Structure 1
Amino acid sequence: MKALTWQGINELSVEKVPDPQILNTRDIIVRVTKSVTCGSDLHLLGGYVPFMKKGDVLGHEFVGEVVETGANVRNHRAGDRVVVSSFIACGQCWYCSRELYSLCDNGNTNPAITEELWGYAPGGCFGYSHAMGGNAGSHAEFIRVPYADVGAFTVPDDVNDLRALFASDSASTGWMGADLGGVGPGDVVAVWGAGAVGQMAARAAILLGAERVVVIDRYEYRLEQVRQHVGAETLNYEHTDVGGELRERTGGRGPDVCIEAVGMEAHSPGPDFAYDQVKQQLRLQTDRPTAVREAIYHCRKGGSVFVLGVFAGVVDKFPLGAVMNKGLTLRGAQMHGQRYIPMLLERMQRGELRTEHLATHVLPLADGPRGYALFKDKKDDCVRAVFEP
C-alpha cells in the first residue's frame, strides 16, 4: 500500500510499504478514508522528538471503514465506519479503569524510552515515534488498530467524515483541556493557540458554560475562524498587551482557567523567544515554553492552568514560584480520547460541535508532502490539511 513516510528532518515521501496484518485477536484493519495533519506532527518533522526512524508512517487522527476483524472483536464488523482515538489503550489496566486512557500500561509496546525520560511510560500513539510504541500511522491506505473495541467508535450515519475526523484527536484533546481544567458555568477562560485544538478547547469551554472565552494567537485567519465558527473572543498578541487585556476583561483578576494549546515550538514577539529558540536549537533545552509561562503569569490567583500542547523534555525559566505563590492548579495530559469520543459524536450529531471549517485543504495522499509544507509554513491560510488515500 501507499503511505506518507518520514525520511529525515523536514523530509517526507509517499512510499510503498507493507500492508498491515491482524497481529492480535482484538485488532481490526481499517481502510483509511480521511487522515489529517496535527501540530504535534511538526515536532517530529523538525527533529525535536528524536525517536523516529527512516520509513516510519506518520499520522494519528483518522476515520475509515473496517475491512477485517480479529477473532475476539465484538463491537465492530467489516463495513462499519469508525473514528479511532489517536492514543492506544487496552481498556482493562488500572489507568483505563479510571478513564486515564493515554496513560494505559499496555498501549505502548516500547516503554523503555519514555520510562527513562519521564519516569513512567504513557500509552501508545499511532504514527508518533518509537518512544510512543512505534505504531504505523494513519497517513496510509490501511492501518491496524489494536484494542479496537476500546479505541474505535462507530460514526452515526448523519455525521459526515470531515466532522467525525476531528473527534479522533483535536476535539477530544480540546474538550479534555476544558473538562480537566475545571471549566464551569460563569468562568472566564483564556486559550493560547487558535489551531484546531485551541479552537476545540474554546468551543468546549463555551458548551461547558463559561461566561467569556478569549483565544490568543497571531494569525488573523485563524482568529477569524474562532470568531465565526467557535463564537469566542480573540486577541492578537502581536498587536496588543495580552496581560493587560485579560485583566481588563476580567475585572482585574485574570482568567479563571488558562489553557495552553501551543506546545514545544511556541512563538513570542518578546526577547524570551530568541532566548528559548537559541537554547532549543543548541539542544540545551528541548522545548520552548513561552505560552505556558504566559498562561501561568496571567491566570488569576487560585486559578487553573491546563497544558494541552505537546512537550518532550525539559524547559528553562519555568515560573514555579508563580505556580506556588499564586495557588495555581497546574495539569497536563495526552488525550483520553476513549473518554470523550462517544459524547463528542453525539454533540456533532446534534450540531453543537462543528469541525468541517478546520479542514481548509483536502488533498490526495500523494500530495502529503505539499500538504505538510502548507500546514507547517501557514501558507494559503492553512489550518489543517486532510489527506484522502
Structure 2
Amino acid sequence: MTHHIVVLGAGYAGLSAAKGMARRLRRHGVRITLVNAVGHFVERVRLHQLAAGQRLADRPLGTLLAGTGIDLVVARVTAVDAAARTVRIDSAPYTVAYDTLVYALGSGADTAAVPGAATHAYAVATYQDAVRLRARLADGREPVAVAGAGLTGIEAATELAEAHPGRAVHLVTDGELGAGFSERGRRHLRGALHRRGITLREHTRVREVAAHGLVLADGGEVPAGTVVWAAGFRVPDLAREAGLAVDARGLITVDPTLRSLSHPEVFAAGDAVAAYGPDGTASRMSCQTGLPMGGYVAKSVAAALTGTTVKPLRLRYVWQNISLGRHDGLTQFTRADDSPVAAVLTGRASARFKEAVTRGTVLALRR
C-alpha cells in the first residue's frame, strides 16, 4: 500500500518540506498531498507592501509544484483527528487520510491579546489581512496607529508612511524600539521613523483597541481611524484540539528531529513548532526559521520512512533584515544564536540586499 504523506500549509516551511520530500522519496512509492487555504504562494515578508497598495507577483502553487508529483488541495483545514489520522477540510473531498502528517500551518496576528483588537484592528499576518488593510486605507486620510514595534510593526509603519505621505502614522510599543539590535542599528531605526514623520511612543502599554483608536494603560489615548495590530503572533488551536502535545502557547512540542512528542507519525515545522536551540532559546517566528525547518523536516521524514537517521536540527542565524520603505532598510548581522553584533548594513544597500534575499528565497522554492 502506498504511504500517504499530507502536508498542511504551503508557506515557507510547508512548501520546502513538501518539495524536499518529493525529491528524496521519489523512488520509494510515497504519495504526497499538500493542503493550503489559497492556491498561490504567499510571500509573507512582503505583506506590508501589499497593505501599502503595491502589487505583488502572482505565484501559483500549481506552477511551483509542476513536475514534483505532489497533489495540491486548495482548502482550509478545519480539524485534525490524530486518532483516526485524518484531516478535515472545508471543501471536497472534506476528509483527507494520512499515514504521515507534516503540520506547517503557521501563525496569525494575536488579536486576542487585548480587548477590542479582534473587532477593531487590522493586521498584516496573512494575505487576507493585508488585502483588508489595503482596502481600508484606500480612501481617507485618518491617522494610523500601529501597535507593536517588532519587525512586522516597524515594516508596516514605515511602508504605510511612505505610501501615504501626509497621513499621520503612530508606532506604539510597550518596550524599547529595536531592543534586540546594536546601538548603530537602533539609531538608524529612529532616524528612519523621524524622516517619515512617524510618531514613536515607547514603554506604552495598550489596554484596549476602540473604534476611535488605542486606549492606553495610563489612561491616555492614541486617536486613529485605523489600528494595525502587530503586537505578537499566535497559532490556531487545531493542534491542541487534535490532542497533539503542545506548550503553553499552543505550539507543537517536538524532539530534536521535529517529530511530535505525542504522535510519532506527525512532524511539524515553522511557526507552529516549539523548537529550541542548544541554549534553550525558542526559535523566532520568521521565514528565516521556517525555510530551513521545512528542508530539515523533508530529511527527517525521509529518514523515518527509509530506516536511516538524521542529526538533530541546529538552527543558526546570520542576520535580520528589515525594510524601512522601498529605498531604506536595516540589516542587523547576528551571532549564530541571533544576538546582535556591531555590524549593520543600512539605507539603499540594505534595501537592495533584502530584495535580493527575498527573490532568492522564491527562486530556491521554485527549484
Q: TM over 0.5, yes or no?
A: no
| Length-normalised TM-score, structure 2 | 0.32
TM-score by length of 1: 0.31
